[in-house]
Structure 1
């Protein structure tokens, strides 16, 4: 059974039970009330009839007066003498099964009642009966019996009962209609949410639920929309990561295959018997150079892997950037001079930071070596610039610059702006990725500013340590 039907039948059963219970209670309460009110009115009427009967004269008109009184009051009346013998009834057919005399017990009870009517209302009897002692009567009548069918009192109750029944059935019909409509209203968003959840589970992450409701269903719809949005973003990231991973392995294969082919070719040439010594030395240098290149490649991959999975990737301690920059300048000054470039420093003053010196040295090595490698003429500048509570470390060059289309992917693994030229210069394609990984581990980031034909500026910031 669907949830809409379950909701509808649950509401119907509960409300119908409630309506029937209230209706039955109302009918019983009204019937009891009407009978109680009827008994009180009956007692008052009996007193009035007794008073009137006792005032009649004992003449020829006595019987006619009794009959007229019974006819006007619409009660059944019987008159008894002082011995309890009935001598007058109206109407006669109402007393066919009634004894013609009163028993002694009843007469004694009437004498003790001092004119108060004795009401008999048993469940077995269909009539309400009253006996009253006329006491000092102006005629031969001593006791009066008055009765009436209980149906007279229940007539109003029957009319009210019919009205209640009609209202009850109308209410039940309305409840059924309203319950189905209400169940449909309640179940509609559930069905929509279920359908949307199934679509999302099947991979349709573009599905959006617009319930326009301010209740819990609206909140759930917003949650599902947020979940779909999150899954959509995660799925996009996974696709990008998968593409990068595929490209990463393809690039590793390519990067390793090229030096291996070179090494294989050099070894084949070294096997020649009549190879001149200078050629043999040349091929040996070529093989060693390519072996070092492969070693650097796997060293860079190892560094990146540690950044991805090792929380203790960096070992911080207080260091002075001035000393670190000076060491890098001394290491690369001969390389720059050999290429005809000017390697200069700017604003190199003592500046303490809390960082891993070995990893920062690796960052400076990559940035400075890249700057020297790609700068054909001019200079390379290493500098520090203090800004409030941080220090900016930068490396500038006067090289060819980098196009805007490459800046977003410049720090991706194995990404090269000019793949052929980069390989010729012996790069692994992982240097800037290693730089980004090390700086991210320091809660910093590498940034770049570049203009084609005017050079590039790589920089990052670190908090100054007191």
Structure 2
């Protein structure tokens, strides 16, 4: 059974049961109310009839006057004498339904109480009242007044018809309203279910248009947000997949080239009558390519640790001058061979970072500066602030075009692939720099002008 049918039947049954219960209770309440009113009325009328009969003359008009009193009041009246014997009963056309003689106990009760005694037996069709009559102009000493309960309940027939008619009309309206209401309630639920199923099946482009201000509208908005988030996640996953595919393709390419070079050098070394000069050159080429492969895997290990190791860096206070001394010692001869002015601004400043990783950052930056600077200078400068230190590596090299700057720190990205490989690079140096500095919660920044040089800088926190 659909949710629409369930809602409709639920509302219909609940409302029908409610209307039926209210109608039944109303009829029962009115019935009891009429009976109570009838009891009170017969008590008052019995006193009035007793006084009236007490004053009637005992002549040929007695029964006529008695019958007129019965007709006027609407009751059946029975008169008993002092011995409790029935001697008059009106109206005449009705069958007698009373005792021809009052029991002695009843006579005594009436004499002693002096009030009207009401008799309402549940299994009796009549409501009966008795009263003693004081001496008067006739032999009447006791009066019995009765009325059929159906006469008392007579108004309820009209009321019942009105209630039942209203009840059936209400039921019809309830059924109509329930069907319309269930449709109104179930329609957004069906739309939400359809949208959720489509999204679950992968149709993340599904947009649910449900302009409501209630919980259904909120749920529709949430589903649209979820679909939008899934679309964004899918785009991210596609980009990651493409990036990963390109990453492995680049690794394969980066390894294949030096392996081919090494293989070619080994083949040449196997030739007979090869001069010592050529042997030395081929050995040097193979060693250089082996170092390139070794550096490639070293950079890959660094990046892998950054991606998966929460203890990628181990910060501690240290003097940055120690690292700058090592950098100067490592690269001053290389710079001198190219005729470059190499200047290191050394200051004894304590910073809070991983010394090994910061040294690796400076090695990569200075190494790139040496590779891509043919004349002029390379400078490592330091600027100290209250709570941090700024380190900058600048050069007068070939520079970088602006269109390359946004992807400069991507893995295996090269501004000039052929030239970069000639320089012996792996394409991972700047990606390693960015990963290390990101782990330190700082950024590597760059500014460059083609033909005039480049500058890379970053900041490090001082110990607190």
**Using the alignment, how far apart are the partners of 1:130 and 1:16 within structure 2?**
42
- Aligned: 1:152 with 2:151: yes
Number of the residue aligned with 1:70: 70
What is aligned with 1:457?
A: 455
In structure 1, the residue matched to 2:13 is 13
Cα deviations by residue, 1:117-141 (Å, 9 ceiling, x for unpaired): 2222222222222222212121122
Whole-angstrom CA distance in 1 between matches of 2:194 and 2:400: 50
Task: Give the Cα separation in 2 of the matches to 1:215 and 1:399.
Answer: 64
Relative to structure 1, is the Cα distance of residues 113 and 157 closer, same or farther in structure 2, using a 3 angstrom cutoff? same
SS, match of residue 390 in structure 2? strand
Partner residue of 2:270? Answer: 271
1:422-444 residue CA offsets vs partner (Å, 9 max, x unmatched): 11111111111111111122122
* Cα separation, 1, equivalents of 2:361 and 2:55: 132
Q: Paired residue for 1:293?
A: 292
Q: How far off its partner does 1:210 sit?
A: 4.4
Task: State the TM-score, normalizing by the size of structure 2.
Answer: 0.94
- Contact 2:437-2:443 at 8 Å conserved across structures: yes
Q: How does 1:358-437 map to 2 (within 5 A)?
A: 358-437=356-435
Residue 218 and residue 350 in structure 1: after superposition, are their counterparts in 2 closer, same or farther (change >3 A)? farther
- State the Cα distance separating 1:97 from its structure 2 match: 4.7
Q: Encode CA deviations 1:46-80: one digit per residue, 9 max, x unaligned.
A: 11011011011223322221121112222222222
Distance, in Å, in 1 between the alignment partners of 2:99 and 2:22 is 44
Residues in 2 aligned to 1:207 and 1:384: alpha-carbon distance in whole angstroms: 55
For 1:92, what is the secondary structure of its paired residue?
A: coil
Deviations 1:357-406 (A, max 9, x none): 11111110100110111122221221112344221111112222222222
Superposed counterparts of 1:175-254, under 5 Å: 175-254=174-253
Distance 2:137 2:95 in 1: 25
Task: Decide whether the 8 Å contact of 1:381 with 1:397 is kept in 2.
Answer: yes
CA RMSD of aligned residues (A): 2.0
**1:80-113 alpha-carbon deviations (Å, 9 max, x no partner):** 2223333322221323454433333333333223
Larger deviation, residues 89-98 vs 355-364: 89-98
The aligned counterpart of 2:45 is 45
- Structure 1 unaligned spans of 5+: none
Q: Distance in 2 between matches of 1:296 and 1:110?
A: 128
Contact 2:353 2:461 in 1 (8 A): no
Distance in 1 of aligned mates of 2:118 and 2:311: 103
| Matched residue, 1:138 | 137
CA apart distance, 1:190: 2.4
- Residue 355 of structure 1 is matched in structure 2 by 353
Residue equivalent to 1:306? 305
Equivalences for residues 432-451 of structure 1 within 5 A:
432-451=430-449
Q: Which runs of 5+ in 2 are unaligned?
A: none
Residue number in structure 1 paired with 2:23: 23
- The count of corresponding residues between Structure 1 and Structure 2 is 464
Distance in 1 of aligned mates of 2:54 and 2:97: 26
What TM-score comes out, normalization by structure 1 length?
0.94
Larger displacement relative to structure 2 (200-209 or 417-426): 200-209
Match of 1:94, SS state, is: coil
In 2, Cα distance between the equivalents of 1:382 and 1:9?
82
Cα drift, residue 416 of structure 1: 0.7
Q: Does 1:56 align with 2:56?
A: yes
